């Protein structure tokens, strides 16, 4: 079974691209979805213990958590120490199931793939990209997003040009859905 790492900076089109792989029958594990599951699942109290007042009705209030960690590197490291091992456990379960089910290819959607040194775990890496103006427009259209929050997120991410230089495959999502779909199909044929 081949493992394709899917990555790209915020607002580049990772989720849309991941859905294209899923539509072709390729199993996808999303690190972001795993985090959301942790925030809404039985492990949510672990986060609230470290960041009191972030748990509301059994679910982590992401806005409250964001206020506690954005711009605070120590708090962010504390959060990552809780969440990252849980995400890796969910990923390991996903890979075990995919191998058992005989899938020839899987996708691991990991936003901070290069930043966390995970490229060595992949058979190939796909970076999704878009021009900076398109990226900013996409991200700033999200509810609750501000230019300050976006800049803080981008400060933690490797520059897009560096990611593209290290990728095995690159898809420019600003070229449209049909072009992206064609590129995804070609990658599946190549790796599958």
117 annotated among ligand-binding-site residues = no
Q: How far is CA 111 from CA 15, 104, 126, 178, in A?
A: 10, 23, 11, 23
Pick from 98, 172, 96: nearest CA to 135: 172
13 annotated among ligand-binding-site residues = yes
* Burial category of 92 from C-beta neighbours within 10 Å (exposed 0-12, middle 13-18, buried 19 and up): exposed
14 annotated among ligand-binding-site residues = yes
- Element (H or E) spanning 4, and its range? strand 2-7
Pick from 67, 46, 4, 15: nearest CA to 173: 15
116 annotated among ligand-binding-site residues = no
Tell me which DSSP letter residue 34 carries.
H
Give the contacts of 51 (CB within 8 A, at least 6 positions apart).
64, 65, 68, 69, 75, 78, 79
20 annotated among ligand-binding-site residues = no
163 annotated among ligand-binding-site residues = no
Do 5 and 114 contact (CB within 8 A), yes or no?
A: no
Tell me which DSSP letter residue 119 carries.
G
- Detail the residues annotated as belonging to a binding site for ATP: 11-16
- Detail the residues annotated as belonging to a binding site: 11-16
């Amino acid at each position: 079974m081949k493992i394709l790492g899917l990555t790209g900076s915020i607002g580049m089109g990772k989720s849309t691209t991941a859905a294209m792989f899923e539509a072709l029958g390729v199993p996808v594990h999303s690190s972001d979805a795993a985090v959301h599951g942790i925030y809404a699942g039985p492990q949510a109290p672990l986060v609230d213990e470290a960041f009191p007042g972030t748990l509301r009705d059994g679910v982590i209030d992401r806005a409250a958590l964001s206020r506690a960690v954005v711009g605070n590197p120590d708090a962010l490291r504390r959060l990552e120490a809780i969440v990252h091992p849980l995400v890796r456990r969910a990923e390991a379960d996903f890979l075990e199931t995919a191998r058992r089910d005989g899938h020839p290819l899987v996708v691991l959607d990991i936003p901070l793939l290069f930043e966390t040194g995970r490229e060595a775990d992949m058979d190939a890496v796909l970076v999704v990209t878009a021009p900076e103006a398109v990226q900013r427009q996409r991200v700033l259209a999200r509810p609750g997003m501000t230019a300050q929050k976006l800049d803080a997120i981008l400060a933690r991410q490797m520059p897009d040009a560096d990611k593209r230089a290290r990728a095995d495959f690159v898809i420019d999502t600003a070229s449209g859905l049909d072009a992206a779909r064609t590129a995804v199909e070609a990658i599946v044929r190549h790796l599958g």
